[in-house]
């Protein structure tokens, strides 16, 4: 197996730099360490003086644990000494979901998001049957879940937020993330159908107005729909722009993780989303081999005398060997297997050094 090339970090005395665009998304299989990577990147970015928002789109939040501070459901400054902000999605707040921007917008006059996405709503239902079966036509089918919709709402809301110079996203496990990334396409299609429906209804409303003298504005809500469609397009363009977005796939050196990472990269490529960085977490190597930093506290696996360590290293080497095609043409960052849990500022700075 050819050795992975990484640049050494000479010292952790100075703040670790973050070479990343304005949007950094960490994705991958569940349990591979996405939250740790996102927390480390966000903290290092803020320590540089960059106003950074750490966003968790994973319903099973652990960003608070990694950063050692409570992360609320609204963007909140987490540190006084550095411009670090954080927010975790709250799927229960679907009244502020993708069809409302916190101002209570209900452009279709259909009772808000709950009415649209609910089981009996026009965009809900199961498998296209029953009351929720695609009444707009065109095979739109069932909308993604509330978690993905809430996550997309956050990205739409914060992508143009002047308070933040960088947004670091801790995404949900692969399946949820792919549904999240499919949402702009689905919402774009849905918005077109909703606007077409509104236009068709306009003629009916004109007739009603003429017959009964009702003071009804047939164009009410159209501006809101068009604004949402424009925001969706801006987000899609940003995610596909390698100068603005780096989707970093996190994996561990095990066969199943490699397989899922290959599938994720393939799907992201289909979406036109660039993947320029792969992070290999929990590699059984000395920290000094990964970062060039000597530390007294790091406990390295004993690959010379420990049979268990040797066998696990063989498994990892085989997985890494299989990953060579995946690595080709992309930056590969290694993070070693730590004996202790990774949380707190010191450990996150070490991880950030591995990602630098």
What is the per-residue DSSP string for 16-75? PP----SEEEEEESTTSSHHHHHHHHHHHHHHTT--EEEEE--SS--HHHHHTS---SS-
Note the pLDDT of residue 198. 67
Q: How far is the C-alpha of 272 from the C-alpha of 274, rounded, in Å? A: 6
Q: How far apart are CA 125 and CA 134, in angstroms?
A: 8
The CATH number of domain 23-95+146-193+245-355 is 1.10.3720.10: no
Q: What is the pTM of this model?
A: 0.75
Reported as a pLDDT band with limits 50, 70 and 90, residue 203 is: low
Q: Rounded to the nearest 10 degrees, what angle do helices 222-239 and 146-158 cross at?
A: 90
Mean pLDDT across the stretch 288-309? 85
pLDDT of amino acid 126: 36
Task: For residues 338 and 311, give the distance between their C-alpha atoms in angstroms, rounded to a whole number.
Answer: 17
Eight-class DSSP state of 168: E
* pLDDT score recorded for residue 2: 37
* 68 vs 157 pLDDT, higher one: 68
Element (H, E) at 184: helix 174-212
Task: Average the pLDDT over 228-233 and give the result.
Answer: 74
CB 158 within 8 A of CB 53: yes
Q: How confident is the model at residue 272 (pLDDT cuts 50, 70, 90)?
A: confident
How would DSSP label each residue in 290-326?
A: HHS---SS-----TTT-HHHHHHHHHHHHHHHHTHHH
CA dist., res. 329 & res. 31, Å (int): 26
Alpha-carbon separation of residue 42 from 33, 191, 246, 350 (angstroms): 14, 33, 14, 13
State how far the Cα of 71 lies from the Cα of 87, in Å rounded to an integer. Answer: 6
What does pLDDT average to over the chain?
75
Q: In what order do the strands lie in the sheet with 331-336?
A: 76-77, 84-88, 52-56, 166-170, 23-28, 245-251, 277-283, 331-336
Q: What is the arithmetic mean of pLDDT over 293-300? A: 79
CA 159 to chain centre: 12
Q: Concatenated DSSP letters for 111-153?
A: SHHHHHHSTTSTT--BTTBGGGS-TT-SS--PPPPHHHHHHHH
pLDDT tens per residue, range 301-346: 999 999 999 999 999 999 999 999 899 899 999 999 998 888 888 8
Output 71 or 7, whichever has higher pLDDT.
71
Which uninterrupted H or E stretch holds 199? Answer: helix 174-212
Task: Give the per-residue pLDDT at 124.
Answer: 42
88 pLDDT tier (thresholds 50, 70, 90) = confident
Question: How far apart (Å, rounded) are the C-alpha atoms in residues 342 and 79?
Answer: 19
Q: Which of 356, 313, 348, 353 is nearest to 33 (CA)?
A: 348
Structure tokens at 289: 């081999």
pLDDT of residue 192 exceeding 70: no
């Amino acid at each position: 197996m050819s050795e992975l090339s990484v640049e050494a970090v000479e010292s952790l005395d100075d703040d670790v730099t973050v070479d990343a665009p304005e949007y950094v998304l960490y994705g991958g299989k569940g349990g591979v360490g996405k939250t740790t990577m996102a927390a480390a990147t966000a903290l290092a970015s803020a320590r540089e003086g960059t106003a950074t928002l750490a966003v968790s789109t994973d319903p099973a939040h652990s960003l608070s644990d990694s950063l050692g501070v409570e992360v609320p459901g609204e963007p909140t400054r987490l540190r006084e000494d550095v411009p670090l902000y954080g927010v975790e999605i709250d799927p229960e707040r679907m009244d502020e979901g993708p069809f409302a921007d916190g101002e209570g917008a209900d452009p279709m006059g259909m009772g808000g998001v709950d009415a649209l996405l609910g089981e009996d709503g026009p965009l809900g239902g199961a498998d296209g049957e029953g009351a929720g079966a695609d009444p707009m036509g065109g095979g739109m089918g069932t909308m993604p879940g509330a978690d993905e919709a809430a996550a997309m709402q956050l990205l739409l809301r914060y992508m143009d937020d002047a308070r933040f110079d960088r947004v670091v996203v801790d995404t949900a496990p692969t399946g949820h993330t792919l549904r999240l990334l499919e949402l702009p396409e689905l919402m774009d299609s849905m918005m077109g159908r909703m606007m077409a429906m509104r236009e068709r209804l306009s003629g009916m409303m004109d007739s009603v107005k003429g017959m009964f003298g009702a003071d009804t504005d047939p164009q009410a809500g159209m501006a809101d729909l068009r604004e949402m469609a424009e925001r969706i397009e801006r987000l899609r363009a940003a995610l596909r722009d390698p100068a603005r977005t780096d989707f970093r796939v996190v994996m561990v050196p095990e066969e199943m993780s490699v397989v899922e990472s290959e599938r994720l990269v393939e799907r992201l490529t289909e979406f036109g989303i660039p993947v320029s960085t792969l992070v290999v977490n929990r590699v059984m190597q000395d920290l000094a081999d990964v970062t060039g930093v000597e530390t007294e506290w790091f406990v390295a696996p004993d690959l010379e005398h420990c049979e268990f360590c040797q066998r696990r290293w063989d498994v990892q080497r085989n997985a890494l060997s299989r990953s060579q095609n995946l690595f080709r043409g992309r930056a590969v960052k290694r993070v070693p297997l730590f004996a202790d849990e990774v949380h707190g500022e010191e450990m996150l700075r070490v991880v950030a050094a591995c990602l630098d």
